[in-house]
A and B are shown apart, each in its own frame.
Chain A
């Protein structure tokens, strides 16, 4: 049982907690304590030193918006943001109740009339912005993957196609999202002329910008993975005379899966970075916009709030990466390289 939990933790990348479990189980205490010190202990010390230096240096720097905030001010803002969120949720609920009552009353007065529910017009909270950013990044990432994986597989199988596409890939790969943004904005505005309430234009622009930058790592890794499949596996497919689709789904994709997931992991990381920049520049809703708004706002708390956003962005990026690492380890099982 213990070994099973530890196995799951290792796949999930929580190696740090393995000694804790062993300690609880009462296995060789000194050894585990030493291990624990080498992981959690050292990490705690690093964090402490970082916070100390930050608290020491930050107040020395004066800006137009006051001192650079130290850890204490940032902690304050975390609390203030969570308070705002609770207030806002309360307001929203209250608005929903009164609005519902209003609509029902109107309908009762005039049954033939179609009465619209008004939307709550309050400012999006920090949590709303996080949610928007996550939805956008996953949409862009999904869009990129849907193009990158099939195209990568074809490129990996076919040298001619690979060399045909290679110049395009090499030129577009290093382009920064900032450069894409104006073009994407103009094109989306030109094409998407009748905006639907459930699909905002800003959302499309951000998602497409993300996918334009996130497509390359997945594409290149998939192509590389497919091109470097063990020749024996391909020979098996040839001897069995597998038809194209069977060959792809039974041999090529499973064999290239570890490579593909490495690509997807890099893509998601790139996508997350790109998204924040795109939101910040184009004022599209999300965490990037939150940073920009606070910067424009210019109150004494603004810098501390931006710091909160930075930590949030970093933490979410870290979590996304861990998810991809876990998936990667999971698909690599049975390949003889990891685990098994």
Chain B
């Protein structure tokens, strides 16, 4: 039995003629300890997919099972790292992590909770900023706080919704390395969503493309990434396996796009049967 299983999941928004189908017949199996990356263009329902797994949205059809049990509502067993961090601006770094820890582990003694909080702040290298508020932090630091808060919840599965998309390239690179390291240490099951092919190859055990279609996106064929860990991004360009994967995935997406373009232009426009009338005649 898979750790996380999506069976025939569909989701749409709106009603009647304005109804837009976003996801259609999504089937997905994630094994325990696996790092799965869902790769897709923007606006193809990636966030919807993660919200469904998190339980923040309910599916129209199909079911989502975590360890064989259906997901009906959000819960701390699925730690979500939101695209825009979702930090509470009136709390410090410590306060944001403590909000989760103090509530979820309220039967722990205070000292143990404090150590737990500090451990995770240390893990994301934010100890010097412990007492700062989100407004005083850079984007990368904020995302780290979000990672610390989510990891400190001790979730069974981590759901990351484009966690690095709002960051500059340099910070992105550093955080990608950190996410991989943290995953190596914890071996949590992870579903990460991104639109960056390199990020996907760097982090994933398995990359699954999200294939946009008129009647809702569905999942394409999986690409297994068998590069040894820890992966070093700097040496990727000399790695034959990396280059093969990258070309293959890029080609897949380019084909998708050209197919779409054909579909879009396939519609022929019927011109009205009018003949120009000459005024001179």
Contact = CB atoms under 8 A, between A and B. Distances in A.
B76 A240 contact: yes
A250 interface: yes
A235 B135 contact: no
B86 A240 contact: no
B134 A246 contact: no
A240 B80 contact: no
B133 A340 contact: yes
Interface in B45-90: 54, 56, 73-76, 78-80, 82, 84-86, 88-90
A239 B75 contact: yes
Contact of B135 (A242, A246, A251, A334): A334
Given A239-B74, A241-B75, A251 B88 contact: yes
B82 A232 contact: yes
B104 interface: yes
Given A233-B86, A334-B90, A239 B133 contact: no
A240 B100 contact: yes
A254 B90 contact: yes
Contacts, number: 62
Nearest to A335: B89
A239 B103 contact: no
B178 to A, nearest CB: 22
A236 B86 contact: yes
Contacts of B91: 334
Contacts of B89: 334-336, 340
A230 B99 CA distance: 17
B160 interface: no
B102 to A, nearest CB: 9
A100 interface: no
Given A233-B88, A334-B133, A340-B136, A240 B82 contact: no
Nearest to B54: A239
Contacts of B135: 334, 336, 340
Contact of A235 (B75, B86, B103): B86
Interface residues of B, number: 26
B90 A240 contact: no
Chain A interface helix/strand/loop/mixed: helix
Pick from B54, B99, B134 the residue with the most CB of A within 10 Å: B99
Contact of B56 (A238, A250, A251, A333): A238
Given A233-B86, A233-B88, A254-B88, A240 B153 contact: yes
Question: Which range contains the number of A residues in contact with the other chain?
Answer: 20 to 34
Q: Is the interface of B mostly helix, strand, loop or mixed?
A: loop
A240 B150 CA distance: 10
A238 B74 contact: yes
Nearest to B155: A239
A239 B80 contact: yes
A235 B50 CA distance: 13
Interface centre among B74, B91, B134, B136 (most CB of A within 10 A): B74
Given A246-B103, A340-B133, A232 B76 contact: no
Contacts of A239: 54, 56, 74-76, 78-80
Contacts of A236: 86, 88, 99
Nearest to A336: B135
Nearest to A332: B90
A236 B86 CA distance: 7
A246 B103 CA distance: 9
A340 B134 CA distance: 9
A334 B91 CA distance: 8
B154 to A, nearest CB: 12
B78 A240 contact: no
Nearest to A247: B103
B139 to A, nearest CB: 13
A251 B76 CA distance: 17
Interface string A74-107: 0000000000000000000000000000000000
B87 to A, nearest CB: 9
Contact of B76 (A230, A241, A334): A241
Contacts of B153: 240
Interface string A305-340: 000000000000000000000000000011110001
A255 B86 CA distance: 12
Contacts of B78: 239
Contact of A232 (B73, B74, B75, B86): B86
A250 B99 contact: yes
A58 B73 CA distance: 72
A302 B50 CA distance: 74
Contact of A335 (B79, B90, B100): B90
Contacts of B90: 254-255, 257, 333-335
A257 B89 CA distance: 12
A255 B90 CA distance: 8
Contacts of A235: 56, 74, 80, 82, 86
Interface string A198-237: 0000000000000000000000000000000010110110
A157 B143 CA distance: 28
Nearest to A254: B90
Contacts of B75: 239, 241
Nearest to A236: B86
29 contacts: A233-B88, A235-B74, A235-B80, A235-B82, A236-B99, A238-B56, A238-B73, A238-B74, A239-B78, A239-B80, A240-B99, A240-B100, A241-B74, A241-B75, A241-B76, A250-B103, A254-B90, A255-B88, A255-B90, A333-B90, A334-B91, A334-B133, A334-B134, A334-B135, A335-B89, A336-B89, A336-B135, A340-B89, A340-B135
Given A242-B103, A250-B103, 12 more contacts: A232-B84, A233-B88, A235-B56, A235-B80, A238-B56, A239-B74, A239-B80, A240-B153, A241-B76, A250-B99, A255-B90, A334-B90
